[in-house]
C-alpha cells in the first residue's frame, strides 16, 4: 500500500493509484506529468520513481527529453525507472494505431508570474500531442499588448516542445491575464492562461510630513510615505520611528504606501529630533521644538574644532566663540535674551539680545586651573554648553626639593663625599605644575643648564619631562651656591660638613 501522499500525487496528475483504485490500470504518464512530478517539492525522489514504475510513460524519450528530466531534478533511481519503462515498451507488441489523432495540447509551465515593477520576466509554454513534444508550433499570448507590446507575444516551440516568451518590464503594479492560443487564435484544450502579477519594487524613497514639529503641547502626527524607484507606493513595508523616548516603534505601510504615527506630547524629545528609517534607506530626521519653539540641533555654540578646544590657563580661545539660535523653521528668534555664565573662565557679556542673524559674539578669558573650562548659555528654558581643556602655562619658576622638602631660602646641609639628590620641577604663573621638558632637553644634550661649582661634583643627571633629578657630592667642607636653569634659574645654597 502507498502512503496517502502518493495516492494524492497520483490522483493529482490524472492517473489511478493502484492502492486507491486497484480495479483500474494506471494510465501511462506523458512528459508534462513527469515534469510536474519532478518539480513538485512535496514528494521524494523514491515516491516519484515508484509512480513511474507503476504507471510507466506514454512516449519514447529523446535525448532532449532526458536532458529536460535531469534539469528538472531527476535522480538516478527515477532515470532508471524511465529506462525500464522504455525497455518494456520496446519489448511489447506494437499497438494498433488510434483511429483519431490526439489533440494538440498546450500547458502553461509558468502559469503564474510575479515580477517587481521595472524588472523583466518570462513565461514558458509546453506543447505536446498525447505526451509527445511538438516542435515548430506557433503559440500566441493573447492580451500581452497590455504590457506595452505593439502586438501579442508570438513564438515557435523548440525540439522539446517548449517556447519561452520574454516579457518587457512593467512600471505600474497590477495583474494581467493572457490566454495561450495557437496560430490564428485557435484555442487549446482547457484554454490555458498565464497570470502575471506586477508588484512594487524595493524601497527607493522615504518622505515624511511634517518637516518639523513647532509645538509639542498637543503631541504630533507623523506620516511616512514609502515608494519604489519608479514612484510606486509600497504596501506592507515596515517603517521604524525612534524618538529617544522609550523603545522604537514600527508601523507597516498601507495599500497606498503610508504609515501613520500618532505621538503624545510625552513621547516627543523636546529640542531633539525624531528619526524614521526604512530598510537600507538613509534615515530622515524631524526636528522637534523645545518649550520655546527652538531647534535643539540648530541652537547652541558654534563649536570650535577639536584642536582649538585646548588652550593654556589664563589665555583666550584660538577661535572666537559665538552663540547662535534657530527655531525649528530655521528662522532667527530675533529679540530673545541669552544669559551667559562660565566655570574656570570669564565671559562677556553676561547677557545679550540676539541680533538679526540670531547670534551673539562672546569674549572669553580662561581661568587659572588646569582641567575643564565651561561656558553656559541660557535662552528661554533651554541651556547649552561648550567645554575647553586647559593645559598649564609656560614655566614661570623652578622649584627645588631635597628629601621631599622644598628648598626655599634655607641651606641644604650635606656630608662631605656623600652623594645627595636635588629634584627640580617647574611651575607656571598660577602655580600649576608644568612641563620642564625644555630644561630637560638642554641637560640631556649636555648644553648650558647647570652652573658648575669647583667643589660640587655632579655625579648624575636624570632629566625627564616633568622633573629633573640631579645627584651631587661635595668634595670638601664649605658653603657653595648651586645654580640650575637657563633664563629662569633656581639657586640652592649647600653647606658641606665633615663626616
- Most distant CA pair in the chain: distance in Å? 144
Contact 195, 112 (CB under 8 A): yes
The span from the CA of 137 to the CA of 120, in Å, is 25
Q: Which fold has domain 204-287?
A: Immunoglobulin-like (2.60.40)
Band (pLDDT 50/70/90 cuts) for residue 298 is confident
Show the cell assigned to 316: 583666550
- pLDDT given for residue 22 in this prediction: 41
Give the residue from 59, 249, 76, 240 showing the smallest Cα distance to 160: 59
3-state secondary structure the chain: CCCHHHHHHHHHCCCCCCCCCCCCCCCCECHHHHHHHHHCCCCCHHHHHHHHHHHCECCCCCHHHHHHHHHCCCCHHHHHHHHHHHHHHHHCCCCCCCCCCCCEEEEECCCEEEEECCCCEEEEEEEEECCEECCCCEEEEECHHHHCCCCCEEEECCCCCEEEEEECCCCCCEEEEEEEEEHHHCECCCCCEEEEEEECCCEEEEEEECCCECCCCCCEEEEEEEEECCCCECCCCEEEEECCCCCCEEEECCCCCEEEEEECHHHCCCCCEEEEECCCCCCEEEEEECCCCEECCCCEECCCCCHHHEEECCCCCCCCEEEECCECCCCCCCCCEEEEEEECEEEECCEEECCCCCEEEEEEEECCCCEEEEEEEEECCEEEEEEEEEECCCCCEEEEEECCEECCCCCEEEECCCCEEEEEEEECCCCCEECCHHHHHHHHCCCCCEECCCCEEEEEEEECCCCEEEEEEECCCEEEEEEEEECEEEEEEEEEECC
Side-chain half-sphere CA neighbours of 186 within 13 A:
12
Show the cell assigned to 450: 647647570
- pLDDT given for residue 98 in this prediction: 52
- pLDDT given for residue 146 in this prediction: 92
Contact 318, 304 (CB under 8 A): yes
Report the range of poorest mean pLDDT among 82-91, 112-121, 308-317.
Answer: 82-91
- pLDDT given for residue 48 in this prediction: 85
The Cα-based distances of 1 to 34, 43, 372 in angstroms read: 22, 16, 87
- pLDDT given for residue 138 in this prediction: 94
Per-residue model confidence as pLDDT tens digits over 278-296: 988 899 988 888 766 788 7
Band (pLDDT 50/70/90 cuts) for residue 93 is low
How many Cβ atoms are within 10 Å of 405's Cβ, its own excluded? 10
Q: Rounded mean pLDDT of 208-227?
A: 88
The span from the CA of 208 to the CA of 225, in Å, is 6
Mean pLDDT for the chain overall: 84
- pLDDT given for residue 91 in this prediction: 67
- Domain 300-391 is of which CATH architecture? Sandwich (2.60)
Q: In the chain, what are the domain boundaries?
A: 27-91, 104-199, 204-287, 300-391, 397-497
Per-residue model confidence as pLDDT tens digits over 376-418: 999 877 788 999 999 999 988 999 999 989 987 788 999 999 9
- pLDDT given for residue 92 in this prediction: 62
In the chain, % of residues over pLDDT 90:
37
Is pLDDT larger for residue 256 or for residue 15? Answer: 256
pLDDT > 80? residue 449 = no
pLDDT > 70? residue 230 = yes
How many Cβ atoms are within 10 Å of 79's Cβ, its own excluded? 16
Q: Which fold has domain 397-497?
A: Immunoglobulin-like (2.60.40)
Q: Rounded mean pLDDT of 433-442?
A: 82
Beta carbons within 8 Å of 73's beta carbon, 6+ residues apart: 38, 39
Q: Rounded mean pLDDT of 202-229?
A: 89
Which homologous superfamily is 104-199 in?
Macroglobulin (MG2) domain (2.60.40.1930)
Same topology, domains 300-391 and 397-497? Answer is yes
Is pLDDT larger for residue 366 or for residue 327? Answer: 366
Is pLDDT larger for residue 226 or for residue 441? Answer: 226
Give the residue from 264, 235, 242, 239 showing the smallest Cα distance to 250: 239
Per-residue model confidence as pLDDT tens digits over 164-188: 999 999 988 889 999 999 998 899 9
Q: What is the pTM of this model?
A: 0.48
The span from the CA of 298 to the CA of 322, in Å, is 13
- pLDDT given for residue 21 in this prediction: 36
User: Helices 63-71 and 31-39 meet at what angle, rounded to 10?
Assistant: 20
The span from the CA of 399 to the CA of 423, in Å, is 8
Band (pLDDT 50/70/90 cuts) for residue 100 is low
- pLDDT given for residue 14 in this prediction: 44
- pLDDT given for residue 24 in this prediction: 56
- pLDDT given for residue 334 in this prediction: 78
The span from the CA of 157 to the CA of 64, in Å, is 13
Give the residue from 294, 464, 253, 451 showing the smallest Cα distance to 377: 294
pLDDT > 70? residue 275 = yes
Q: Rounded mean pLDDT of 204-208?
A: 93
Q: Rounded mean pLDDT of 46-57?
A: 85
Per-residue model confidence as pLDDT tens digits over 311-354: 999 999 988 899 999 888 788 887 788 999 999 999 999 989 88
pLDDT > 70? residue 423 = yes
- pLDDT given for residue 455 in this prediction: 82
Amino acid at each position: 500500500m502507498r502512503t496517502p501522499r502518493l495516492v494524492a500525487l497520483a490522483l493529482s496528475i490524472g492517473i489511478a493509484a493502484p492502492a486507491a483504485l486497484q480495479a483500474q490500470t494506471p494510465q501511462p504518464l506523458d512528459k508534462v506529468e513527469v515534469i510536474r512530478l519532478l518539480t513538485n517539492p512535496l514528494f521524494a525522489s523514491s515516491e516519484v520513481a515508484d509512480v513511474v514504475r507503476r504507471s510507466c510513460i506514454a512516449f519514447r524519450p529523446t535525448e532532449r527529453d532526458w536532458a529536460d528530466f535531469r534539469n528538472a531534478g531527476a535522480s538516478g533511481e527515477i532515470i532508471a525507472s524511465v529506462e525500464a519503462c522504455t525497455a518494456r515498451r520496446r519489448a511489447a507488441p506494437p499497438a494498433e494505431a488510434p483511429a483519431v489523432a490526439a489533440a494538440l495540447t498546450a500547458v502553461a509551465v509558468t502559469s503564474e508570474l510575479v515580477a517587481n515593477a521595472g524588472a523583466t520576466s518570462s513565461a514558458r509554454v509546453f506543447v505536446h500531442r498525447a505526451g509527445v513534444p511538438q516542435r515548430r508550433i506557433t503559440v500566441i499570448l493573447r492580451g500581452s499588448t497590455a504590457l506595452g507590446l505593439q502586438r501579442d507575444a508570438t513564438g515557435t516551440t523548440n525540439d522539446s516542445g517548449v517556447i519561452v516568451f520574454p516579457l518587457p518590464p512593467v512600471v505600474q503594479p497590477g495583474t494581467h491575464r493572457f490566454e495561450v492560443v495557437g496560430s490564428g487564435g485557435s484555442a487549446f484544450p482547457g484554454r490555458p492562461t498565464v497570470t502575471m502579477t506586477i508588484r512594487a519594487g524595493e524601497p527607493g524613497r522615504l518622505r515624511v510630513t511634517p518637516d518639523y514639529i513647532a509645538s509639542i503641547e498637543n503631541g504630533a502626527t507623523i506620516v511616512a510615505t514609502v515608494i519604489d524607484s519608479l514612484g510606486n507606493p509600497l504596501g506592507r513595508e515596515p517603517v521604524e520611528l525612534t524618538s529617544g523616548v522609550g523603545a522604537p516603534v514600527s508601523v507597516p505601510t498601507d495599500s497606498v504606501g503610508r504609515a501613520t504615527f500618532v505621538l503624545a506630547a510625552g513621547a516627543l524629545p523636546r529640542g531633539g529630533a525624531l528619526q524614521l528609517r526604512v530598510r537600507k534607506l538613509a534615515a530622515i530626521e524631524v526636528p522637534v521644538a523645545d518649550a520655546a519653539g527652538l531647534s535643539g540641533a540648530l541652537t547652541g555654540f558654534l563649536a570650535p574644532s577639536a584642536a582649538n578646544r585646548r588652550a593654556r590657563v589664563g589665555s583666550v580661545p584660538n577661535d572666537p566663540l559665538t552663540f547662535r539660535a534657530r527655531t525649528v523653521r530655521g528662522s532667527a528668534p530675533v529679540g530673545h535674551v541669552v544669559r551667559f555664565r562660565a566655570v574656570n573662565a570669564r565671559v562677556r557679556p553676561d547677557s545679550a539680545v540676539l541680533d538679526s542673524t540670531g547670534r551673539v559674539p562672546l569674549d572669553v578669558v580662561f581661568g587659572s586651573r588646569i582641567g575643564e573650562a565651561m561656558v553656559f548659555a541660557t535662552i528661554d528654558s533651554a541651556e547649552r554648553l561648550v567645554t575647553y581643556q586647559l593645559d598649564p602655562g609656560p614655566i614661570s619658576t623652578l622649584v627645588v626639593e631635597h628629601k621631599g622638602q622644598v628648598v626655599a631660602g634655607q641651606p641644604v646641609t650635606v656630608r662631605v663625599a656623600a652623594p645627595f639628590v636635588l629634584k627640580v620641577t617647574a611651575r607656571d604663573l598660577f602655580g600649576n605644575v608644568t612641563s620642564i621638558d625644555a630644561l630637560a632637553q638642554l641637560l640631556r644634550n649636555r648644553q648650558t643648564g647647570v652652573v658648575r661649582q669647583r667643589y660640587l661634583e655632579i655625579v648624575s643627571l636624570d632629566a625627564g619631562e616633568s622633573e629633573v633629578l640631579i645627584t651631587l657630592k661635595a668634595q670638601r667642607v664649605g658653603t657653595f651656591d648651586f645654580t640650575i636653569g637657563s633664563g629662569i634659574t633656581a639657586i640652592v645654597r649647600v653647606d658641606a660638613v665633615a663626616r
